[in-house]
């Protein structure tokens, strides 16, 4: 029995990649394709018997999982309907605030949710590597996180960069909200060794580059991930959809999906 997958934001860059990856997967079937009201893509045929629609509730009936890489407001709308219908969610949307994340946690009492700032298998392996590096390099090393994305990305720093910062801060026993530095200009004084710095680059068609730099005296250690195609995020998202099919309601991340916890 194939897993019935719905995809939100099918007219976008990520949505189109997800459609291609589902079409190539032997164990998945495209159940529904969604777009927001007024989208020029409404009515386009994307698979046999499947047209892009804005009738979310009707389209999601009978689906096993919805994959959502849209915007926070769209994700919250989808969340309400998925909870009502008992449809699991794979959420790669970034920029969610604390209240919206709390809503995910509440919905996870009834449905399975995989929520991660980055669905890439490689990035989530990096998260694990950062735990080890941060433990070993906990003293005498200044930590900076540098990320680069395409010119169309609307949030900064990226959700992945913030996720990396949270892993580092948690491992070091720090609160990222208190120790993060998101910009430097003018006479800033000497660097506070307890801070975690962020630098953001936006330009061209960069899919996503992330580096965590540990700068010590006489050496630098860099842990870097570079994505050359959005397919890496789609492949991870489909892996998460398979995970949800085999697991009960609850809040999960890609560390759960990959068995890294």
Q: How confident is the prediction for the chain on average, in pLDDT?
A: 96
Catalytic, 51? Answer no
Token duo for residue 232: 């890496």
Looking up tokens 């710095």 gives: 197
Residues paired with 14 in a beta bridge = none
Q: What is the pLDDT of residues 43-62, one digit of tens each?
A: 999 999 999 999 999 999 99
Q: Which of 78, 149, 210, 225 is catalytic?
A: 149
Residue 63 has pLDDT above 90, yes or no: yes
Cα(260)–Cα(237) distance, integer angstroms: 16
**Domain enclosing residue 149, as ranges:** 121-227
**66 & 192 share domain:** no
Question: Given a cut of 90, is residue 37 above it in pLDDT?
Answer: yes
Residues 77-100: tens digit of each pLDDT: 999 999 999 999 999 998 899 999
**112 and 126 in one domain?**
no
DSSP 131: H
Beta strands in the chain (DSSP E): 3-8, 28-34, 45-47, 50-53, 65-68, 88-91, 112-115, 142-149, 180-181, 196-202, 208-215, 220-227, 250-252
**Count of C-beta atoms within a 10 Å radius of residue 213:** 17
Domain shared by 112 and 186, yes or no = no
Task: Give kind and range of the element (H or E) at residue 3.
Answer: strand 3-8
Q: Are residues 107 and 152 in the same domain?
A: no
Query: What is the rounded average pLDDT of the residues 192-207?
Result: 97
- The yes-or-no verdict on residue 68 having pLDDT over 90 is yes
CATH number at residue 198: 3.30.360.10
Q: Write down the catalytic residue from 153, 210, 245, 261.
A: 153
CATH number of domain containing 235? 3.40.50.720
- Closest to 111 in 3D by CA, of 252, 261, 258: 252
Asked if 149 is an active-site residue, the reply is yes
**Statement to judge: residues 115 and 131 lie in one domain:** no
Same domain, 7 and 114: yes
């Amino acid at each position: 029995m194939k897993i019935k997958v719905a995809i939100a934001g099918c007219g976008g860059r990520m949505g189109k990649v997800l459609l291609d990856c589902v079409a190539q997967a032997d164990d998945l079937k495209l159940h529904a394709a969604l777009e927001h009201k007024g989208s020029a893509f409404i009515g386009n045929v994307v698979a046999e018997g499947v047209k892009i629609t804005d009738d979310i509730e009707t389209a999601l009936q009978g689906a096993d999982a919805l994959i959502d890489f849209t915007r926070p407001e769209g994700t919250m709308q989808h969340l309400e309907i998925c909870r009502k219908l008992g449809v699991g969610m794979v959420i790669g949307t970034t920029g969610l605030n604390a209240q919206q994340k709390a809503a995910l946690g509440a919905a996870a009492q009834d449905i399975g949710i995989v929520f991660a700032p980055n669905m890439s298998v490689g990035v989530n392996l990096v998260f694990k590597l950062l735990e080890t590096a941060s433990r070993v390099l906990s003293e005498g090393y200044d930590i900076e996180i540098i990320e680069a994305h395409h010119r169309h990305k609307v949030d900064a720093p990226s959700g992945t960069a913030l996720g990396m910062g949270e892993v580092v801060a948690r491992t070091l026993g720090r609160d990222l909200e208190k120790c993060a530095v998101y910009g430097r200009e003018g006479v800033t004084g000497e660097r506070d060794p307890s801070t975690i710095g962020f630098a953001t680059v936006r330009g061209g068609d960069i899919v996503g580059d992330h580096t965590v730099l540990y700068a010590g005296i006489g050496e630098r250690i860099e842990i870097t991930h570079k994505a050359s195609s959005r397919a890496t995020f789609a492949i991870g998202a489909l892996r998460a959809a398979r995970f949800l099919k085999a697991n009960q309601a609850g809040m999960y991340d890609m560390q759960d999906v990959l068995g890294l916890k």
